[in-house]
Structure 1
Amino acid sequence: MTSPVQLYVYDLSNGMAKQLSMQLTGRQIDGIWHTSVVVFGKEVFYGQGISISQPGRSHHGAPLEIIPMGETALDEDTFQEYLAEMRDHYTADKYHLLEFNCNSFTNDCVGFLTGGTIPSHISDLPTDFLSTPFGAALRPTIDSMYRRGPAAAPPAVPPPQAIQAAQSAAASAPNNPQLAASILQAVAAQAAQANGSGGAASKSHTLTAPVHIITNSPNFQSFLKSHRAAIGFFTSQTCPPCRMIEPVFERLADEKGMRADRDGAGFAKIDLGVGMGNQLAGQYGVRATPTFIFFLDGKKVAEVKGADAGELRTQIDLLLFQAYPPHPHSGISAPTIKALSLNPILFKQVPAFDAMFNKLYSFIDGTAWPASAMQTQIQIKDALSRVVLPYLKSRFPQTPSGNVPSASATILEFASKATDTLVQVLPIESLFPVVDIWRLALLDPFVSNWIFTSPAQNPITLLLPKAIDALQAPSKASRNYILTVLRMLANGFANPASARWIMLGVPRESATQVLIPSLLHDDATVRTAAASLAFNLAAALQKPRVDAMRNGTRWTTQSEGEDVGDWEVEMASAITEAIDREKDNEEIVHRLTACLAFLIRLSPGWESNVKPLLEVLQTREILKGKLRKGDGWNGASGVTKKEIRRLVEEVADKLCTA
């Protein structure tokens, strides 16, 4: 006599995954699936240990889907004996949302009862999520949620409230890691919540290192897909050498596992006596324990048998070197390049404020305003004189003092509204004092944070289109405006918040549209400001790469976004052309060469995109030309300053040829 086996499927996100997955991850995910097995009139599932309820009566409510999994010829007593054994392994402290979860358990149960597996769209969900850049970035957050003591409670935030809060925040916070983290906390609470009707969760040693417990083949395949480098530890409870080497394996997992600040390997433990572990071991020819198998991109590359701690460490180090080879530039001796400061070039000159504002007032009065806007004209001048001017004078006093006031939201709202109106009314040759106000304001951290929050009238987004239009046909009338916009953008890097905003996709694209033609401007002062902005942009790109190298993390295109690679190529091309055309000003060559060094040193797209581009552009030859008289330089013997010559030589000979 046989009994039917069913798979009950629930969505732990309560519909949020289907609603928000595309905007958060760039991939449609219809649900975060929880499953349970229904057999012999009972629903069995894993969360806070193994629990049993009447079908459809667990805390998850009614299932979204019921999938027939076939028939079992086993009797109920045999299944209960199996569950009693599994309770020692499926404990609350071992639960992990991605690697050892309810679906791992149901897969084992279905395999035991019928010899089958649960549907791949359920078992492969962690791999699908982690394969997105957003999922990979959240992996450390998820892992940290499960480093806790034995029999830990589920997350403190009640699931319904957490889900409701996340849904209300979603519309205004697309692609938001904090939002996604809160969703995951809610999902974790749902997954781990016990309904009280099953057996109590067993207590056991919590994992001391990021070791993933694997009990069946689908879970192991998912684990391999989500880790470029992976180690499988095949063990057995009856194996004394396994118990001896296990603490070493856990320490190595802690030292060399994946974290937010580094690349690493995935560490998995497969007990041949748990679930379908013996069947999994058979797939890889494991006949003795302990056995360690090493995988690179899902393929077996090495194997170690026995409890040899030294050989285990050696093979792990070799695997990591194969998975994450060092960047070609990391071993280059380039002292001048390494000594370059990553601090931004800023324009802090303080004008005579009364003269500056009187000039602006004259521009306002000298422009024909519609009769209907006369009151607005008066209000703008009043706001400038009563609100904006006093702030600038107190923020940048003639006699520097220790404490200077910051702006307020009220001041910035006045200034932003005035900017919006003046940009629409004044001709471009009269707007540079308005830009100069924001050039100085961006040195204030409060203004930087305000810019990052993207208010409705962000002044930079109002001012950049005018500069882009002016550069289409540059003139003496537009020169001051373009120059001041470049200096304002450079000052955007004075504080982290506005710097992050400028480096985002749309603002960065607009800044680049101003920058690139300005690098070739007829006016040397404009070119100097453009070279300074280029330096700041490239330094902002270089800093996380340098930090990653110091932390032992391999910086990838996924780390900074695929669009950054395209922008980097565009910038490298523009900087090379600007260096080629600059034949008189050594300081411009200095800043542009430093910018080029930042763009290409440690670039994750060096081999595939940047190096071939530099070869086509003949960048090395162009740099070398700056060192000699002739096509590359108008001076007697090329660039004369020693520090600039050393930098040009290093970039040409060390970076462009690596």
Structure 2
Amino acid sequence: MSSPVKVYVYDLSKGLAGQVSLQLTGKQIDGVWHTSVVAFGKEIFYGPGICETEPGRSHHGSPLRIVDMGETHMDEQTFVEYLSQIKEHYTADKYHLLDFNCNSFTNDCLGFLTGGSLPPYIKDLPSDFLSTPFGAALRPTIDAMFRGRASTGVLTPPPDISATADSSNPASASSLLQAVAAGATSNNSEMPSSSRNYLPTPAPTSPPTPVQSNSLTTPVHIATNPSSFHNVLHTHRAVVAFFTSATCGPCRMIEPVFEDLAKSKSRANDVAFVKIDLGVGMSNAVGGEYGVRVTPTFILFLDGNKTHEMKGINAPELRTQVDLLLYQAFPPHRHTTLSLPAIEAIPLNAILSSQVPNLDIVLAKVTGFIDAAPSWSGSTTKEATKQILAKNIIPYLKARGSSSPPNTSFEPWKDATISLVTNLSAGELFPVADMWRVALLEPAVCSWSATKFGPGSPILVLLSKAEGAPRNYSLTFLRMISNAFANKIVARELLLSSRSSITALMVAALFHDDATVRLAAANLAFNMTMHLQRLRVEKVRGNVEGDDVGENEEWDIEMTSALLEVIEREKANEEIVHRLTASLALSIRLSPSIEQLASLLEVLQAQKILKDKLERGGCGDTGVVKKEARKLIEEVAEKLCS
């Protein structure tokens, strides 16, 4: 007889992670997830050992969401026996915030009961967090907390975040950690009477800390049954399996090498490092399936197929075989083998529009437009809008670069911008865009802006007025949005939310009659492709930060086509040709859509278009003159477009 299996999901931060994670880490993390498995009328989770309670009656309260995982055909007694077998594996002293926690346990149970696994938004969060500067800086402190617990049974208290990580908002960071600490418990005495240790283990005596239930699972997967291991094989391209046992001395010697490889080589969902203790649960069945008779044994898999097996503690050989597996699974981009000195010399720094106008004149223009508006609607009145401009925005911009910039809240900036965009025409909004152009040179403004994407975001509100706008607004907005792309967090949000509209605006501007507008659009094209190139370089190097590229094959094709068409049409301005060629090079070089782009480049005769720029009449009377530009054009034509 079958029985339903569900996963209960809790957010220990009570919504705080969703509010502050973007400004702390540069990534949107919607919750600090704790999970438990519900089967046979019981909710079972891992914290101070394996614990059982009535569904929804644990110290975590009501679940934020319930995920239906299907049904199990196991009987309850078989599941109880399985939990008894793994009880020594899931003890309080082995708990680690990053490497072995409630989600590890839930995932293992799901593999046993249904052959399934936790949803990706829970499983993938560790690499997202650890890939950020904040996460990387916090990792050593978290490790120290749990090293102390393993030896003493008492967890080191939560750290002072301001002293641990380079956070632009240590107060928010501390609040988040305290919220997690308040939502977790490490003591049975803090649980309701309906909750108990399913298989009792000594309970620690430390005060509540973010121990049991953080969202961050581990780069090392744990498998205690065949279903759990097969699930890992099916969901990862490359798998490194470490067969070990508690009584194996050599295993303890090689284990740090395996864990170091897991931390340094894991790439989001593509690679899994799995530890299988043959003395735990049904792990011996996994070992029997692959003929493992001694420990340590390492077996490497590619696309679910065994590719290599090694026994013993040869650390150099293990590293070599892992590198070979990853090379086979993720061969380097074909352009990485080319010698591209001119392209590699392109500075991956944004082109900024940093000139500061006379801010008093800017303020007078905006004020005049406000006063002349025949009517005014919205939550901010004319007078309130003028006060925000005169008393908040302009003083902040005037103090740029000073040792003591004025303390200010950016929220009124948003309100004023929405009112101005609502009540003024695009032709009257260019000084507003110019203020934001200068403001986006400031890291503090960018950090705040990154948290405001969505309805009401000042950048997106101004973008809504850009299509078909007069020259003065188009030019100023292009320069403003180019400055926004200098900040990687804002650039990421723009590409996720508004890539198509920004690209359409840029392409239209590249065909403008005014060379100044075309140059501003060329700068924006460069900044967009530069941001993607940085991430692609990180991806090629195997760094998880590069997994945040947000690749889009259709956009690659659209961008390449537009750049080539504009380069062919540009006959007058050598600087525009140079910047567009650099943009084309960055767009093509490490694109994952290279096969499709190669065909497109041939059809569009890209090589001829570029080489024509070097000939008489191709750009000016004599063709491109600047030596640096000529070298770049020749290299892109000969090596990327051939």
TM-score by length of 2: 0.72
Q: Find out whether 1:321 has 2:335 as its counterpart.
A: no
| Alignment partner, residue 419 of structure 2 | 420
Match of 1:627 among 614, 621, 629: 614
| Alignment partner, residue 492 of structure 1 | 484
- Contact preservation (8 Å) 1:210, 1:267: yes
Aligned residues: 577
Residue-by-residue CA offset, 1:296-320 (whole Å, 9 max, x unaligned): 1222122224555454333222112
Equivalent AA in structure 1 for residue 259 of structure 2: A
Instruction: State the alpha-carbon separation in 1 of the partners of residues 528 and 62 from structure 2.
Output: 53
Equivalent AA in structure 1 for residue 477 of structure 2: V
| Alignment partner, residue 236 of structure 2 | 227
| Alignment partner, residue 92 of structure 1 | 92
Q: Find out whether 1:641 has 2:626 as its counterpart.
A: yes
**1:356-435 map, 5 Å:** 356=362, 369-370=374-375, 392=397, 394-395=398-399, 403=403, 405=405, 408-409=408-409, 413=412, 417=416, 420-421=419-420, 424-426=423-425, 428-435=426-433
| Alignment partner, residue 166 of structure 1 | none
| Alignment partner, residue 24 of structure 2 | none
| Alignment partner, residue 561 of structure 1 | 550
| Alignment partner, residue 460 of structure 2 | 461
How far apart are residue 517 of structure 1 and its match? 0.3
| Alignment partner, residue 195 of structure 1 | 196
Residue-by-residue CA offset, 1:114-148 (whole Å, 9 max, x unaligned): xxx5233xxx123x426986686368889977893
Equivalent AA in structure 2 for residue 534 of structure 1: A
| Alignment partner, residue 226 of structure 2 | 217
- Contact preservation (8 Å) 2:450, 2:490: yes
- Contact preservation (8 Å) 1:232, 1:292: yes
How far apart are residue 650 of structure 1 and its match? 1.9
How far apart are residue 104 of structure 1 and its match? 3.6
Instruction: State the alpha-carbon separation in 1 of the partners of residues 230 and 110 from structure 2.
Output: 16
What's the secondary structure of 1:13's corresponding residue?
strand
> Runs of 5+ in structure 1 lacking a partner?
108-116, 158-176, 204-208, 471-477
| Alignment partner, residue 8 of structure 2 | 11
Instruction: State the alpha-carbon separation in 2 of the partners of residues 651 and 553 from structure 1.
Output: 26
Q: Find out whether 1:480 has 2:494 as its counterpart.
A: no
- Contact preservation (8 Å) 2:239, 2:301: yes
Match of 2:256 among 241, 247, 250: 250
- Contact preservation (8 Å) 1:34, 1:191: no
Equivalent AA in structure 1 for residue 604 of structure 2: L
- Contact preservation (8 Å) 1:5, 1:68: yes
- Structure 1 pair 131–417 and aligned structure 2 pair: CA distance change class (3 A): closer
Residue-by-residue CA offset, 1:478-500 (whole Å, 9 max, x unaligned): 22222122122223245555445
| Alignment partner, residue 579 of structure 1 | 567
- Structure 1 pair 291–469 and aligned structure 2 pair: CA distance change class (3 A): same
Identical-residue share of aligned pairs (%): 40
Higher mean C-alpha deviation, range 453-462 or range 218-227: 453-462
Instruction: State the alpha-carbon separation in 2 of the partners of residues 235 and 355 from structure 1.
Output: 73
Instruction: State the alpha-carbon separation in 1 of the partners of residues 527 and 312 from structure 2.
Output: 54
Instruction: State the alpha-carbon separation in 1 of the partners of residues 3 and 462 from structure 2.
Output: 62
| Alignment partner, residue 586 of structure 2 | 598
| Alignment partner, residue 614 of structure 1 | 601
Instruction: State the alpha-carbon separation in 2 of the partners of residues 50 and 454 from structure 1.
Output: 41
Compute the RMSD of aligned alpha carbons.
5.2
Equivalent AA in structure 2 for residue 654 of structure 1: K
Residue-by-residue CA offset, 1:585-609 (whole Å, 9 max, x unaligned): 1110111111122222222x23354
Instruction: State the alpha-carbon separation in 2 of the partners of residues 222 and 649 from structure 1.
Output: 49
| Alignment partner, residue 174 of structure 1 | none
What's the secondary structure of 1:330's corresponding residue?
helix
How far apart are residue 529 of structure 1 and its match? 1.0
How far apart are residue 218 of structure 1 and its match? 1.0
- Structure 1 pair 257–648 and aligned structure 2 pair: CA distance change class (3 A): same
Higher mean C-alpha deviation, range 453-462 or range 43-52: 43-52
Residue-by-residue CA offset, 1:531-552 (whole Å, 9 max, x unaligned): 1111122222222333444x54
Instruction: State the alpha-carbon separation in 2 of the partners of residues 404 and 308 from structure 1.
Output: 57
- Contact preservation (8 Å) 2:261, 2:319: no
| Alignment partner, residue 508 of structure 2 | 517
Residue-by-residue CA offset, 1:74-130 (whole Å, 9 max, x unaligned): 9x9xx79x94x75544433445347751564697xxxxxxxxx5233xxx123x426
Residue-by-residue CA offset, 1:608-633 (whole Å, 9 max, x unaligned): 54434333333232222211225x43
Structure number with larger C-alpha Rg: 1
| Alignment partner, residue 345 of structure 1 | 351
Match of 2:524 among 520, 526, 533: 533
- Structure 1 pair 222–371 and aligned structure 2 pair: CA distance change class (3 A): closer
Q: Find out whether 1:118 has 2:131 as its counterpart.
A: no
What's the secondary structure of 2:476's corresponding residue?
helix
Instruction: State the alpha-carbon separation in 1 of the partners of residues 548 and 231 from structure 2.
Output: 22
What's the secondary structure of 2:240's corresponding residue?
strand
Higher mean C-alpha deviation, range 344-353 or range 354-363: 354-363
- Contact preservation (8 Å) 2:60, 2:183: no
Equivalent AA in structure 2 for residue 560 of structure 1: V
- Contact preservation (8 Å) 1:417, 1:457: no
Instruction: State the alpha-carbon separation in 2 of the partners of residues 280 and 297 from structure 1.
Output: 18
Instruction: State the alpha-carbon separation in 1 of the partners of residues 125 and 198 from structure 2.
Output: 37
- Contact preservation (8 Å) 2:224, 2:283: yes
- Structure 1 pair 343–316 and aligned structure 2 pair: CA distance change class (3 A): closer
Residue-by-residue CA offset, 1:338-393 (whole Å, 9 max, x unaligned): 2222222122233344555555566666x5725999x966776676566655555x
Instruction: State the alpha-carbon separation in 1 of the partners of residues 502 and 600 from structure 2.
Output: 22
Residue-by-residue CA offset, 1:202-244 (whole Å, 9 max, x unaligned): 99xxxxx964443210111123234332222334566xxx532
TM-score by length of 1: 0.71
- Structure 1 pair 578–248 and aligned structure 2 pair: CA distance change class (3 A): same
How far apart are residue 323 of structure 1 and its match? 1.9
